Amino acid sequence: MTHELYRQTTPTSDSFANLRELYQEITTEIRKLYVGQDELLLGTLTALFSGGHVLIESVPGLGKTLFVRTLGRVLGCQFGRVQFTADLMPSDITGAPVYDMKESEFRFRPGPIFTQLLLADEINRSPAKTHAALLEVMQEYRVTVDGISHHVPRPFLVMATQNPLESEGTYNLPEAQLDRFMFKLHVDYPSADEEMDVLRMHSQQIDLNDRLRDEVKTVTNPETLMAAIGQCGGVRIEDGLTDYINKIVRMTRQWTSFHIGASPRAGIALMQAARTLAAFSGRDFATPDDVVEIALPTLRHRVQLTAEAEVEGRNVDEELRMLIRGVEVPRD
């Protein structure tokens, strides 16, 4: 990716050198088991260090479970996976009170959402009330049952997936819920060379738990991650760059190919992501390149093509690229 070279050649700040080293250590360890998918890796780490969540659009079999398990091992975090189905109830993921006969009282039994890295597989197969329960936790970092709040462990990252090829038996996420995901990431089939590496690395029927234990090391812990998340928020963004972000977001509402533009939440997410990318580069200031690098994953699920644009076969990403090219880049 272009940003890889940029991260290696731009001047760094001593106060953010630790974040650059941490980012490099994390990616190096993940690459021992996970091949390719640069957008998934960069987008997920950026969301994690920005306090956001990601929606992943991909067909099955591209290693998303392997990715989250490897990520959990490298970060020293708990990880879990929930397969969303049409009969999945909110209590199936959040937990529910269970009667304790010994104590003669109800006790809350936490559900699978009480983890730090959650893979919500095929989220669009569950009904709206289950989506709502998950989104409450994503926003508030807590589950409220019978008026009592139960906080999930931090850091907390939801990686929700949906299959773009299947629509039967699915419930599309409404715009208000899509807007709560920081990024929408596209995971496509690997290149020929990458797929060759996958075949070599994962065709020996070695237990994944053994490989995670023997080949991948843990480089950090939840406490260090929370401190790093706070540190990313201290990256400087000058007024000129804030204006640049604001113009991009507002332009989506005027673009003739879009009938729905991005909300102010998109601008906030873009600023947070630019700060994190700058920190990954070891810099204490964000640049227009940081904004452009992460703009498509931030905006693509927050805009909608008009019916005419869809009939003409236009692509959201291409429209966003044209839009961004038309916004003047700040020079200072």
> Residue 144 has what pLDDT?
83
Task: Render 298-324 in DSSP notation, one character per residue.
Answer: HHTTT-EE-HHHHHTT--HHHHHHHHH
- Compute the mean pLDDT over every residue in the chain, rounded to the nearest whole number: 88
> Residue 136 has what pLDDT?
81
Q: What is the pLDDT of residues 34-59, one digit of tens each?
A: 988 899 999 999 999 999 999 999 88
- Position 147 pLDDT exceeds 50: yes
Record the tokens describing residue 39, joined without a space. 């957008």
CB 175 within 8 A of CB 71: no
Q: What is the pLDDT of residues 235-253, one digit of tens each?
A: 999 999 999 999 999 999 9
- Position 331 pLDDT exceeds 60: yes
> Residue 243 has what pLDDT?
96
> Residue 225 has what pLDDT?
95
- Position 5 pLDDT exceeds 70: no
Out of 204-218, 224-238, 262-276, least confident range: 204-218
User: Which of residues 165 and 105 earns the better pLDDT score?
Assistant: 105
Number of Cβ atoms within 10 Å of the Cβ of 258: 23
